Amino acid sequence: MSNYNIKHFEEYFQIYRKSVRDPELFWEEIAEEHFIWRKRWDKVLSWDFNKPEIKWFEGSKLNITENCIDRHLRTKGDKTAILFEPNDPNSPAEHITYKKLHERVCRMSNVLKEQGVSKGDRVCIYLPMIPELAVATLACARIGAIHSVVFAGFSSTALATRINDSDCKIVITSDGSYRGGKTIDLKGIVDEALTHCNGVSTTLVVNRIGSDVEMKEGRDKWLQPLLDSASLQFEPEIMDAEDPLFILYTSGSTGKPKGMVHSTAGYMVYAAYTFKNIFNYKEQDVYWCTADIGWITGHSYIVYGPLANGATTVMFEGVPSYPDFGRFWQIVEKHKVTQLYTAPTAIRALAKENIEFVENYDLSSLRVLGTVGEPINEEAWHWYNDNVGKKKSPIVDTWWQTETGGIMISPIPFCTPTKPTYATLPFPGIQPALMDENGEEIKGNQVDGRLCIKYPWPSIARTIWGDHQRYKDTYFSAFKNMYFTGDGALRDEVGYYRITGRVDDVIIVSGHNLGTAPIEDAINEHPAVAESAIVGFPHDIKGNALYGYVILKESGESRDHDNLRKEINQIITEHIGPIAKLDKIQFVNGLPKTRSGKIMRRILRKIAGKDTANLGDTSTLLNPEVVQEIMDNVL
Ligand code: 7RM
């Protein structure tokens, strides 16, 4: 029995039991057999959730790009590593072989070195979904620099906050990006951000759209000429297991984003092992994850997981609606995609369109379908299963987080019987627990509670950049000796898990985690606004949309409300990005507050969701009278 390749349900249980009985032996065997190590570890695991401190494969030495690229050169140098599908369906796709990827990553590594980047330095990557994004990410890993990829839909303020938080000295960007029929001026956004970032000495600019951008003397450099004159060889820097590989920001329930730090060896092992099994990866497959590399899903399941397995991974620059709503299906047919991994929000958006968009294409190459990012509703699950998978491709509903580095709870296709809306069972090595409000574990089945993990797994984030105390407070303080996920979940009669959603002030809109606090902070910057509160409400396509309750200052009361709404969304766009715009804005005279001054979001959530039959306990409210008034004017 190979632990690396789980073939049937009985075997899953055997492997799972083994992973719990002796986690160190279990992970050691996987690490030993499937990766290249420059030096073996001295100790598989040491951990303390109270400190908190977690170390995997301590003492070992490696470079993740040697595992993702170099070791495949001999056996599959001419195989496509990255299959780039551009925004414009009439432009040719680009097949980047492992050999070519090696060459490009080496060139980029040399350029970064020449620009003064060395081991441990932070590099901010702000690029659209073009090959340079993957290449730059891997080049950082090759030279031992810590990449911080910022999703290129974030605003200049959000970008500046992230650059400054991790003190990046260099930014890699492009002149602009294509998004469907539009172009976006990325370089302009970077220029604006850098007026607030003193630590950045260099920006490297990819020419993607050929726009006429201003290049700041001494700071901005076109990347291509530097790459052209760089050498094709670059010896990988030999890293320690626990050296940070990357920082990736995720929203929290307070204002500042959290820079989650992932380290090298454990992350690599876990991303590779989950990819192999959860996507039933086989040598000839063409795997496509539609996420952006700016999110953790892209890091683990476009770049590192697939490449560590020598897979062909599709990178798509465009959007599902351009040139029409058939684009995803056209790409599946064109490249004979075998695994499709996408988000419920995309499924719901496509399900709303004419079914002919799907039926026009041959989807028979598909073998496994995946979903991630938020709970998938039953209707969307069936639409995906019936129309895309034709009832023969298992759906893997994969639950995980930026913080977990890899998929935690998911069916294994052709092993685990699926059940709509259920992420089903923990992956080997993952020990979930449901907790009650008193901090006790809820045992048995047919129960629900707060989802925690009892034991470390190799790819758990090791800290929050620059704020270890916050790491401890956020994840290890709610429940003793447990990692707290922030999600609620239920366990059914056979032990399957269904994730019910966030139990904190994070709202998931179209699969993007948004903290309420930063949005409220942005709104409150408007000179006419006194106070605000944001909640989510159910939305057909986005899953949740944002509803804002805004108290105006006296000066604002006489102003035109529709104009104010526009201005508020404008401020949000500037501070965070268009994804955080509010669908509805209600101007109110007061917000329901507890005596300790906390806004009762629970009540606001019910009102926004038109679910006011039972508002729950309002006895702790300081100002119960505002509730009726808000209800009377709900949008
Ligand atoms: C991978 C990713 C994490 C949050 C997480 C959940 C929610 C993700 C599912 C899900 C239900 C799923 N990372 N979430 N996957 N909820 N079913 N299959 O999305 O850091 O951006 O978000 O997303 O609330 O805590 S993330």
pLDDT at 142: 98
Q: State mean pLDDT over 555-578.
A: 91
Q: What is the C-alpha separation between 525 and 407, in angstroms, rounded? A: 38
Confidence of residue 516 (pLDDT cuts 50, 70, 90): confident
Atom of ligand 1 nearest to the CA of 376: 17
User: What is the rounded average pLDDT for all residues in the chain?
Assistant: 94
The sign of the torsion formed by the CA atoms of 41, 47, 51, 53 equals: positive
**Does residue 330 carry a pLDDT above 80?**
yes
Which is more confident, 520 or 194? 194
Pairwise CA distance, residues 265 & 61, whole Å:
8
Q: Check: CB of residue 244 under 8 Å from CB of residue 259.
A: no
Alpha helix stretches (DSSP H) within 236-284: 264-278
Report percent pLDDT > 90 for the chain: 83
Helix (H) or strand (E) holding 57: strand 53-58
Amino acid at 100: K
Pairwise CA distance, residues 243 & 263, whole Å: 5
Give φ, ψ of 177 to 5 degrees: -140, 155
For residues 308 and 449, what is the distance between their CA atoms, to the nearest angstrom?
A: 36
Residue nearest atom 22 of ligand 1, based on CA coordinates: 401
The residue nearest atom 5 of ligand 1, judged by CA position, is 401
Q: Which residues line ligand 1 (CB under 6 A)?
A: 250, 295-297, 372-375, 397-402, 423, 485-487, 499, 502, 508, 513
pLDDT score for 252:
67
Residue 1, pLDDT above cutoff 60: no
Nearest to 510 by CA among 578, 423, 602, 450: 578
Assess contact for 132 and 174: CB atoms under 8 A.
yes
Gap from CA of 76 to ligand 1 centroid (Å): 34
Alpha helices in 35-153 (DSSP H): 64-68, 73-76, 98-114, 131-143
Residue 410: which H helix or E strand, with range?
A: none
Which segments within 106-218 are labelled E, that is strand?
122-125, 146-149, 170-174, 177-179, 182-184, 202-206
pLDDT at 530: 84
Spacing, Cα 510 to ligand 1 middle (Å)? 11
Q: Does the structure show a pLDDT above 70 at 400?
A: yes
pLDDT, position 525: 86
Chain segment 595-622, per-residue pLDDT in tens = 656 677 888 999 999 988 888 766 667 7
- What is the per-residue pLDDT for 341? 98
Give the residue from 130, 127, 149, 161 showing the smallest Cα distance to 574.
Answer: 161
Q: Which tens digits make up the pLDDT trace of 265-308? A: 999 999 999 999 999 999 999 999 999 999 999 999 999 999 99
Task: Please tell me which residue, 266 or 5, carries the higher pLDDT value.
Answer: 266
Tokens encoding 50: 């109270």
Residue 290 near residue 270, CB atoms below 8 Å: no
101-115, 180-194, 354-368, 542-556: lowest mean pLDDT where? 542-556
- Express each pLDDT in 84-101 by its tens digit: 999 999 999 999 999 999
Q: Quick check: 376 pLDDT over 90?
A: no
Q: Under the phi-then-psi rule, with left for phi > 0, alpha for psi from -120 to 50, and beta for the rest, what region is 577?
A: left
CB atoms within 10 A of CB 232: 10
Write the pLDDT tens digit of every residue in 451-485. 999 999 999 999 999 999 999 999 999 999 999 99
b/e for 301-340, b at 16 or more Cβ within 10 A? bbbbbbbbbbbbbbbbbbbbbbeebbbbbbbbbebebbbb
Domain architecture of the chain: domains with CATH: 9-453 (3.40.50.12780), 506-632 (3.30.300.30)
Q: If 0-12 CB within 10 Å is exposed, 13-18 middle and 19+ buried, where does residue 598 land?
A: exposed
Distances in Å between the Cα of 387 and the Cα atoms of 347, 384, 470 are 11, 6, 44
pLDDT at residue number 506: 84
Distance (angstroms) between ligand 1 centre and the Cα of 399 equals 6
Size of the chain, expressed as the number of residues it contains: 635
Distance 526 CA to ligand 1 centre (A): 31
